[in-house]
Amino acid sequence: MSLLFVLVFFLSCALLMISGNWIIKALSGISEFLGWKEFTVAFIIMSIATASPELLVGVSSAIRGIPELSLGNIIGQNIIHFTVAIFILVLIRGRFSVRSRATRTATLFSAFMAIFPLILVLDGSLSRIDGLILILLFLVYTIRLIQNSKRRESVYDVEADSPATGKFILTDFTSFLKDVGILLIGVAVLLIASQGIISSSIHFVQLLNLPLVIVGAVIVGIGTSLPEIYFSAASARKEEPELMAGNLLGSTVVSTSLVLGIVSLISPVTGISWHSYATSRIFLFISVCLFISFIWPDKKISRTEAWILFTIYLLFIATEMLL
């Protein structure tokens, strides 16, 4: 059985690499066709796709009447986004930078959205009204991002004033549909591979009789974050910083607004005391504050700062284990 899980682990890692390359190429083609910046495509399309594990967990837990499971999962995931994910990307590229205006705005909005649900639950609940507010914020920002993302006219907007031009548009539209198909297949393979890695990891954690907190805070947390972390890492290796930043920041926004909003609409989260998720709430606040304080002055995060963020995550795990 252990040999089977070893094979599943390595096969899943190989599928991650293959699907990541497919997705990067597909998103570049989609960006070219729509005339959107690659950052916008990754922020919206890829982020929603990679957030599907959180959405599945959230909807399932809400239907079963335990929506707080989704809230805890998303809080833990966001800690990973602002610590472990940034650390990995800085190791690959040497820095995490937000030079463009759109990226800087998205950085602030992502940080705000990571903290905003913590503010909403100060009254002890996440109601349906809170859910509507979260979804509305997502829709307003997404529409505004699309409106401001046009860097040029899309291929589809070119006027077909000659048979040759019309053929050109048809060819590009066919390529666009092909890229969409590759994207969907790539995302599906990415999610399957992520589940393979998390399943095999849990097997070995249980085999070694490690604490349950390791399964929840480390394995499951990183497992649900793995699609966006790997895609962002693959984008960094291929020198695609816009795709890298767009996916990571967008995943934070999608999970804390769209996913959490849908969950609270299905089943409001009630009876949330201060002690509920106290450790994770405190460490999420610290992680976000450190992230903004590092990146805002010179618009980048250095290796030293990335190590500090990673240390915060290690302290989070140690605190969870001690408590």
Q: Please state the domain extents for the chain.
A: 9-322
Structure tokens at 114: 């990571």
Res 189: pLDDT:
84
- pTM of this structure: 0.78
Q: What are phi and psi of 19, to 5 degrees?
A: -65, -35
Provide φ and ψ at 148, rounded to 5°: -95, 5
Range 25-48 average pLDDT: 82
DSSP 36: B
CATH number of 9-322: 1.20.1420.30
Q: pLDDT digit string (tens) for 116-159?
A: 998 998 888 889 999 999 999 999 998 888 887 765 444 545 44
pLDDT over 80 at 257, yes or no: yes
Q: Which of 186, 175, 177, 178 is nearest to 234 (CA)?
A: 186
**What's the CA gap between 10 and 76, in Å, rounded?**
26
Alpha-carbon torsion (110, 115, 120, 121), positive or negative: positive
* pLDDT score for 154: 47
Residue 185 pairs in a beta bridge with none
Q: How confident is the model over 174-190, as pLDDT tens digits? A: 888 898 898 889 888 87
Number of other CB atoms surrounding residue 65 within 10 Å: 9
Q: How far apart are CA 71 and CA 69, in angstroms?
A: 5
Q: By C-alpha distance, which of 96, 54, 50 is closest to 73?
A: 54
Round the CA-based radius of gyration of the chain to a whole number and report it.
Answer: 20
